């Protein structure tokens, strides 16, 4: 599936699908801008999917469109992810929802993930090149063989609150990152504007929730690293197939 028209909405907005559970999205590409505009809490926007619940998988997908989560008034928790806005559902609220985690594999994001805010209170914005936010859902989340080229923009009230090339923030969820890479110039540009990464992950991972200790923050390693543009393009050829 190739999507080239813009996607707009409130609360759950995706380039391919807004909200899903027990679903696999495979071989999809979004080239359109994705825009979520809400005065309510928990706005989830993703280049492929806005919010995904349990028994779900996003695999072999690519986003090149800009993803923007815009909130006004006193709304909180605006999330923008190049691939997925929110990676999990804590409690099923509708008959077609399944509580649990959605895994992301072999995906590439080339679009900007942006959180903007126009209110007067702390907005808690989370933006990630692959995933905006991991939810309160129980279970172990996986992001595997994923690459981010896209820029990060986060101008909420708390500018350090969750910005990372792989994931903006994780709350109450165990995460495993394997063979995940970001663009070195993206982290450098974000650091120049916003200051050194307080989590020490070079803006690969933004922040973990309150039940994590500092020793559990994900640090750069051989398989979670920053690369040059040319290096990432070579990795796309080997990982995304």
Q: How do residues 7-45 score in pLDDT, each as one tens digit?
A: 665 678 999 999 999 999 999 999 999 999 877 778 899
Quick one: how far is CA 49 from the chain centroid?
A: 10
Query: Minimal CA–CA distance to 20: which of 54, 43, 46?
Result: 54
pLDDT at 4 over 60: no
Q: How do residues 146-181 score in pLDDT, each as one tens digit?
A: 999 999 998 766 555 778 999 998 776 678 899 999
What does the DSSP 8-state code read for residue 112?
-
pTM (two decimals): 0.92
CA atoms within 13 A on the CB side of 163: 31
Please work out, in degrees rounded to the nearest 5, the angle formed at the alpha carbon of residue 198 by the alpha carbons of 100 and 128: 40
pLDDT at 62 over 60: yes
3-state secondary structure at position 51: strand
Local confidence band at 201 (pLDDT 50, 70, 90 cut-offs)? confident
Say if CB 127 and CB 80 are below 8 A apart. Answer: yes
Q: How do residues 80-122 score in pLDDT, each as one tens digit?
A: 999 999 998 877 777 777 888 899 999 999 999 998 876 656 6
Res 86: pLDDT: 92
Name the helix (H) or strand (E) containing 187: helix 184-194
* Percentage of the chain modeled with pLDDT above 90: 50
């Amino acid at each position: 599936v190739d999507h080239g028209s813009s996607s707009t909405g409130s609360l759950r907005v995706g380039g391919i699908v807004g909200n899903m559970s027990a679903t696999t999205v495979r071989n999809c590409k979004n080239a359109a801008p994705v825009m979520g505009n809400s005065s309510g809490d928990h706005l989830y926007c993703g280049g492929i999917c806005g919010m995904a619940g349990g028994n779900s998988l996003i695999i072999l997908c690519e986003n090149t469109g800009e993803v923007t989560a815009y909130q006004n008034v006193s709304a909180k928790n605006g999330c923008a992810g190049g691939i997925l806005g929110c990676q999990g559902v804590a409690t099923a609220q509708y008959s077609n929802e399944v509580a649990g985690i959605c895994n992301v594999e072999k995906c590439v994001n080339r679009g900007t993930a942006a959180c903007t805010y126009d209110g007067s209170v702390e907005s808690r914005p989370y933006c990630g090149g692959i995933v905006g936010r991991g939810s309160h859902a129980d279970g172990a989340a996986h992001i595997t063989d994923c690459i981010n080229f896209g820029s990060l923009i986060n101008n909420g009230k708390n500018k350090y609150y969750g910005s990372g090339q792989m994931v903006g923030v994780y709350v109450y969820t165990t995460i495993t990152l394997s063979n995940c890479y970001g663009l070195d110039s993206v982290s450098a540009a974000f650091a120049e504007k916003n200051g050194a990464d307080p989590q020490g992950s070079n803006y690969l991972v933004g922040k973990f929730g309150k039940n994590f200790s500092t020793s559990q923050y994900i640090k750069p390693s051989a398989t979670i690293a920053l690369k040059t543009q040319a290096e990432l393009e070579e990795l796309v050829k080997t990982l995304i197939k």
